[in-house]
Amino acid sequence: MEVNINGWAIALLAYLVAAIVSLYPAVRLLFKMVNLNPGGPSFDTASHFSDAGRERLNQNFQRIQGTLMFWKTQAERYKRFHMYSLTWIGISTISLPILAQAITADPWSKNLMTVVAAHAALTLGLSRSFRVESHYKAFRNGESDFYDLYRRMLDRPEVFGATEEEQIKKYLEQVEKVRRLVRAAETDNLPSIEEVAQVGPSPEGRHR
C-alpha cells in the first residue's frame, strides 16, 4: 500500500509543534514564582549600624522580599514572551517572502502560509497591546534599582547622611520611591480594552 507523504503538511505540523514547544518556557512561569538569588552579607552583619538600626533595616528588607519576588517573576515572564515574539516574528519575516514564491496549488502550502502569517500577526499584536517590552524594562529596572540602593547602604552608608538615623531615613525614602516608580510604570503600561480588541482580525479581514 502506497503512502502519500505531503511535504507541506509535514512542514505545517513541524511549524505548529515548534511554535507551541518554544512557548512553553513562558507559559510555565504563569503558574510559578521565581526564587530570589541567594544574597551575600546582609544587614545582619553590617558593622556600620547599631543593633536597633540593623533590626529596622532587616524588617524593611523582609517586608519587601515579596515585592522583589513579584518583580523578578514578572520581569522573567515578560522577558521570555518578548524573546519568543522576537524569534518568531523574525522567522516569519524571512519565511513569508520565500513561501509566497514557493506556494503551489496544494492547499497545504496555502494553509502553511496562512498559519505563519496569522501566528506572526497574533504574536506581534499581543506583544504590542500588552506592552511586553515596557513591562519587562519596568520590573527589571525596579529590581536593579532596589539592589543598587541595598548594596550602597551596606557598603557606603555615609552617602545617605552623616548619622545613622539620617542614613536609615534616607534609605527607606528611596526604597519607597523605587516602589512607587515601578507601580506607576506598571499602571501606565496596562493595555486598554480598545488596544486588546485590535489584536483580532480587522472587520475588513473577516469578510475577505
- pLDDT digits over 6-21, tens only? 889 999 999 999 999 9
pLDDT tens profile 65-100: 999 999 999 999 999 999 999 999 999 999 999 999
Q: Residue 112 belongs to what domain range?
A: 54-194
The CA R_g of the chain, rounded to the nearest whole Å, is: 25
- Mean pLDDT across the stretch 26-31? 90
pTM of the model: 0.81
Residue 60 lies in a domain: yes
The answer on pLDDT for 4 being more than 60 is no
CA-to-CA distance for 137 and 141, rounded, in angstroms? 6
Residue 20 lies in a domain: no
108-138: burial string, b at 16+ Cβ within 10 Å, e else: bbeebbeebeebbbebebebbbbbbbbbbbb
Tally of domains within the chain: 1
Residue 18 lies in a domain: no
Mean pLDDT of the chain: 87
Higher per-residue confidence, 4 vs 122: 122
Residue 6 lies in a domain: no
Residue 155 lies in a domain: yes
Q: For residues 29 and 76, is the Cβ–Cβ distance under 8 A?
A: yes
- Going by C-beta distance under 8 Å and a sequence separation of 6 or more, which residues neighbour residue 192? none
Residue 77 lies in a domain: yes
pLDDT tens profile 145-163: 999 999 999 999 999 999 9
Q: For residues 132 and 78, is the Cβ–Cβ distance under 8 A?
A: yes
Residue 200 lies in a domain: no
Residue 72 lies in a domain: yes
- Mean pLDDT across the stretch 127-139? 91
